[in-house]
Amino acid sequence: MSTISAKDGTKIYYKDWGLGPVVVFSHGWPLSSDAWEDQMFFLASHGYRCIAHDRRGHGRSEQVWAGNDMDTYADDLASLIETLDLKDVTLVGHSTGGGEVTRYVGRHGSSRVKGLVLVGAVTPQMGVSANNPNGVPMAVFDGIRAGVVANRHQFFRDLTVPFFGFNRLDAQVSTALQDVFCYQGMLAGLKNVYDCIKQFSESDFTEDLKKVDVPALVIHGDDDQIVPAETTAVAAAKLLKNATLKLYPGGSHGLPSTNKDQINQDLLAFLRSS
């Protein structure tokens, strides 16, 4: 397997497909880089080099006890970019991964970055706080922690329903997609998954977004039941200096799978324009 070493020695797995301008993907919780394969295959087939890593403790990366925090996630991404000496990179992040790529720019600048794409991202802040009074109540995240500890496989299975919008009228439920979600989730370490809940729910990316000085594309489903669009995507687009906001009508949180053809075309258009 292809791995790089993070600053603390943690082994981070990555996949590297294709040749051409570089696109780096960061996945959502509790998944792995496999969640981006539809986009990677499509873009690599259109002349791009697509790289995606498994967040520490997730997928095939090392399940370390410490360092499960957003700053370290961003630093791990920096280690990947620096080790592979990537330049003129377009960063693409889904959900928690959207926070990760944004924090990367906030901590490490944009000297190696050409563009930023946020898909169903938790930016600028997902959970309720003094600065985000309309955010998701903390009781929701306490419930996620309890569910993960009690029976995380069942919790992941139940989560797939709102995640992919399978509880909506006329939804085409895919048990195969549910199986893949659960498989990826169960590859992650329990401690790593548990710690990450605090990171995607409480991290405030407001100042990071303000530091982004490259073109940005913000994609979100207007029926996202996990990360509500109004307090995240709409707010994030306003904070970014040069952003295009695309709200997918009826779109769920699982857009890279449920709306893969639409996202693929939007990504390709953004890459060609930037």
Residue ranges of the domains in the chain? 3-273
**Is 253 in the active site?**
yes
User: Which residues of the chain are under the pLDDT cut of 70?
Assistant: none
Considering the candidates 32, 33, 79, 95, report the single residue annotated as catalytic.
Answer: 95
Unique residue bearing structure tokens 């986009």: 39
Residue 195, CA distances (Å) to 56, 90, 94, 126 in order: 11, 28, 18, 16
- CATH architecture under which domain 3-273 falls: 3-Layer(aba) Sandwich (3.40)
Dist CA 116 CA 209 (whole Å): 10
| Per-residue pLDDT tens over the stretch 189-202 | 999 999 999 999 99
Which member of 27, 253, 257, 266 is catalytic?
253
- SS3 category, 267: helix
Local structure of residue 55 (DSSP, 8 states): P
Over residues 41-81, the pLDDT tens digits come to: 999 999 999 999 999 999 999 999 999 999 999 999 999 99
Q: Which of 76, 224, 257, 266 is catalytic?
A: 224
Beta-bridge partners for 224:
none
**Is 224 an active-site residue?**
yes
Confidence (pLDDT) at 1: 80
- pLDDT attached to residue 274: 77
Strand ranges (E), the chain: 3-5, 11-17, 22-26, 49-53, 89-94, 113-119, 216-221, 243-248
Is the pTM above the cut of 0.85?
A: yes
For residue 97 the two structure tokens come to: 């991964």
How many Cβ atoms from other residues are within 10 Å of residue 139's Cβ? 9
Structural tokens at position 130: 């003094």
Residue count (the chain): 274
> d(Cα 202, Cα 96) in Å, to the nearest integer?
11
